[in-house]
Amino acid sequence: MDQPTRPSKTIACLSAQIKIGGTLAYALFDSGSNTDAATPEYTKVVKGAQIALDEPVNLQLGCKGSQSQISYGTRVEVGFGGISGFHYFDQVNLDRYDVVIGTPFMNKHGVKLDFETREIRFPNGRVVKAMSSLEDSTLVAERRGPRAPRPTTKVLVPRD
């Protein structure tokens, strides 16, 4: 059996650019994450204090055997969707995003994810529109910068 074809609309995550630490962060809103996380690089950009944890905490990812450790956290100011104040984020080496907004933040602030309308809703009535797949891929490409041209391989053909 072949894997079913999934239209891009059905697999699109809810991501947005939101204000954290006084600058725009590329954020994934992840209802499957039981932590809020920021990259160490983003923490440095927003001048967030690095807080050493007394004991490292295991971070179990979705795949069996795939895990990491959290040794540091940070508290930075958030300001989006009508929410303002300081919030704790674990420092995690994320691949694509600056931050992951997980269930601790969403439960604390009553954030609701609407996949049908692709909106992130706040209890005060404010709505953040999630990025489209095109906006998302364009942002990722811009952040990676221009790619170096691929080296060409010359094929030598022997002459007779």
Question: Can you list the positions of beta strands (E) in 36-158?
Answer: 37-38, 51-60, 67-80, 83-91, 99-101, 112-114, 119-121, 127-129
pLDDT at 160: 47
Residue with tokens 């104040």: 85
Q: What is the model's pLDDT at position 105?
A: 97
Q: Where are the domains of the chain?
A: 14-144
CATH numeric code, 14-144: 2.40.70.10
Q: What does the pLDDT read at residue 147? A: 56
- The average pLDDT across 26-35 equals 94
Q: Which H/E stretch holds residue 28?
A: strand 23-29
Q: Encode pLDDT of 113-139 as tens digits.
A: 999 999 999 999 999 999 988 888 888
**Percent of the chain at pLDDT above 90?**
60
